[in-house]
Homo-oligomer: A and B are copies of this chain.
Amino acid sequence: MKGFAMLSIGKTGWIEKERPVCGPTDAICRPIALAPCTSDVHTVWAGAIGDRHELILGHEAVGEIVEIGSLVKDFKVGDRVLITAITPDWNSLAAQDGYAMHSGGLLSGWKFSNFKDGVFAEYFHVNDADGNLALLPEGMDLASACMLADMVPTGVHGAELADIQFGDKVAVIGIGPVGLMAVAASAIRGASEIFAVGSRPNCVELAKEFGATDVINYHDGDIAEQIMKKTGSVDKVIIAGGTVDTFIQAINMLKPGGKIGNINYLGEGDYVKIPRTQWGCGMGHKQIVGGLMPGGRLRMEKLASLVMTGRLNPSKLITHRFEGLESVEEALMLMKDKPKDLIKPLILL
């Protein structure tokens, strides 16, 4: 079969591989919608997860089942399915511990285009099909469906990690596609004022549509100072962009007892820096937590229900549309080059 792969750090290309083998609890799918992710860009051009050779890229897809393991109970060949980007081993101690996304070790629930071939291929493999697939709800558009793989659950997890409560003032740092979903999730989790930090015009516009009450442009000065000038300290911060240094501003703008939820993959730097005095010399109850999106079928079904009932509309993220597997290359390059009007591309097959 044909797949679009990372050949080595900085290099991509089309390769031929054997179609993956279906174990007794697995499924083999063919993609019907795909999307590249900024992490694919980091994987290839920044070498964020180390070198990889002939590893098929991609972890955001909607698919159709073409082969199904003998022990799978709830799915059959021909089913059109949502597939979560993170596919934990549900029969693991990490899952029993409530952290299935780390089954097999830190971050190891992330398998596609990390430990095994990704979804940018004629066929791809899904482990633990009963636990990691969900039926594509009747009537759901493929754009939204494809955003349910990663953008929605990651953005939503930011609001969960930051533990947003009714009437909270929330800052969302970074309003790329994940940050935008974090804005939307904050709004439907009960936040009142939402400070969206970003500058790209169509992201700013969508942030407002999704519920941001203020937009903070980092070109206009220190973002913590700008926000605190407007509102005093905030109750919660969701970090969906920036670097290891972004936590300095996040701590600075946070109230004692506030919480930071990080959903930004930190690709560089030795240390995340927590400013000692603003962190209350270690005693300010400013809680810091960051986490990989939880995967799994139940969560995907619940998030899909938010789309079906009109609470979330992730299809609005899509700014560029393509057709055919071959266009994943062009779509990925778009993510790499980030033209000004891009939020997220989608490929239909």
List residues 105-145 of chain A with CB under 8 A from any CB of chain B.
105-107, 128, 130-131
A161 CB → nearest B CB, Å: 8
A334 is an interface residue with CB less than 8 A from chain B? no
Asked if A284 meets B276 with Cβ closer than 8 Å, knowing A93-B298, A302-B192, the reply is no
Identify the closest chain B residue to A269 (Cβ).
B276
A156 to B192, CA, bound (A): 14
Do B97 and A257 touch (CB < 8 A)?
A: yes
List residues 42-57 of chain A with CB under 8 A from any CB of chain B.
48
Identify the closest chain B residue to A245 (Cβ).
B271
Do B266 and A298 touch (CB < 8 A)?
A: no
Indicate which residue in B71, B191, B265, B298 contacts A282 across the interface (CB closer than 8 Å). Answer: B265
Chain B residues whose C-beta falls within 8 Å of the C-beta of A202 in the assembled complex: none
A220 is an interface residue with CB less than 8 A from chain B? no
- One of A7-15, A29-37, A289-297, A340-348 at the interface: A289-297
A190 CB → nearest B CB, Å: 5
Do B305 and A192 touch (CB < 8 A)?
A: yes
Chain B residues whose C-beta falls within 8 Å of the C-beta of A193 in the assembled complex: 305, 309
Chain B residues whose C-beta falls within 8 Å of the C-beta of A189 in the assembled complex: 166, 188-190
A99 is an interface residue with CB less than 8 A from chain B? yes
A262 is an interface residue with CB less than 8 A from chain B? yes
A301 to B166, CA, bound (A): 11
Q: How many copies does the complex hold?
A: 4
A326 is an interface residue with CB less than 8 A from chain B? no
A287 is an interface residue with CB less than 8 A from chain B? yes
Chain B residues whose C-beta falls within 8 Å of the C-beta of A267 in the assembled complex: 281
A78 is an interface residue with CB less than 8 A from chain B? no
A98 to B169, CA, bound (A): 16
Asked if A93 meets B297 with Cβ closer than 8 Å, knowing A107-B280, A244-B276, A271-B273, the reply is yes
**A-B pairs, 9 with minimum CB distance:** A167-B302, A102-B256, A99-B257, A192-B305, A272-B274, A96-B298, A285-B291, A266-B282, A271-B273
Please list the residues of chain A having a beta carbon within 8 angstroms of any beta carbon in chain B: 24-25, 48, 71, 90-91, 93-102, 105-107, 128, 130-131, 156, 159-160, 165-169, 185, 187-193, 213, 239, 244, 248, 256-257, 262-276, 278-292, 296-299, 301-306, 308-309, 311
